[in-house]
Amino acid sequence: MLEVNSSLAALSDQLVLVAVLCYVTAMLGYALELGFGRAAPAPATEPARVPVTVGGGGGSGGEGADAEGGRAAARPTGPGWASRAGVAAVVLSWLGWAANLGALVTRGLSVGRWPWANMYEFVVAIALAAVTVFLVMQLRYRVRFLGAFIMVAATLALGLSVRYFHVQAGPVVPALNSYWVAIHVSAAIVAFGLFTMGAVASVLYFVRKEGATRLPDRKELERLTHRLVVIAFPVWTFAIIAGALWADKAWGRYWAWDPKEVWSFITWIAYAAYLHARATAGWRGRTALIVQLVAFGCLLFNLFGVNIFLGGLHSYADIPG
């Protein structure tokens, strides 16, 4: 039996706590910037454009128009400390991301396997994926307004993991000692991260009030949600296909209507319905995003409800009693 490196396992647990601390502090920084800082950002899913004036006279009010005749870039309207709080939040997010990544790496090294073989490890990996999507998108697009909400989601995920799902590092059942873990589960984790960010944007669509606000308008929030789902959906599709191939290798059949398989398929149908309705029936706004949030609810039940209440062939959650 493989011996567990207790020092690395303990370091992994400590790094999760460091990540939680960084994410919570970053959340406060993003909230301060959102509440007191800049005006509503330019389109969230397009790179910022430099205002260009036409001719030599300049536009009324000195704002100018962008190169495609769109909206002018927003100017800071709040105190300088609010903007600095946002910058500090970004730094803390990267530090938390590094600690989150380090927790998974040291967990895997401590037992010599891929570090997402149980509920605790999987949820820690999902938190990392969601924060990764946010930080990568932030490098090119103006999505910092999502920071406080993504940090809330990541903090809750890690908090649940530590409080309710934590198990000691150890070996896994033979079916999980496979390279398919790196393929099937990794794809599912990436899809979870993308879907989570899309769901956050959808929730903001519903809570956003008309009038002056530091959030983008609803059309931009809906567009951001749609683009994230468009990216995540084929990744989730690949995860299901890879899971079927793994099931054939492990159990001798591609599909057994196991609860996890059923709810993975239900989730796929729900997101497919959202994309289909938007593309063919022209659904937009509240109706389309309600379907998207229902699909995300199916995704959450697939993660928590199936593992906790239904079990089945995928009952590797190892949730403490």
pLDDT in tens, 100-123: 999 999 999 998 888 887 889 989
**Contacts of residue 297, Cβ cutoff 8 Å, sequence gap at least 6:** none
d(CA 153, CA 137): 17
Average pLDDT over residues 278-300: 89
Residue 225 has pLDDT above 70, yes or no: yes
Burial class of 58 by CB neighbour count within 10 A (0 to 12, 13 to 18, 19+): exposed
Q: Which is it for the CA torsion 211, 213, 217, 221, positive or negative?
A: negative
CA angle 229, 232, 234 (to 5 degrees): 115
d(CA 138, CA 153): 17
Please state whether the predicted TM-score (pTM) of the whole model is above 0.75: yes
Q: Are the CB atoms for 198 and 225 separated by under 8 Å?
A: yes
CA angle 107, 112, 114 (to 5 degrees): 65
- pLDDT value of position 155: 95
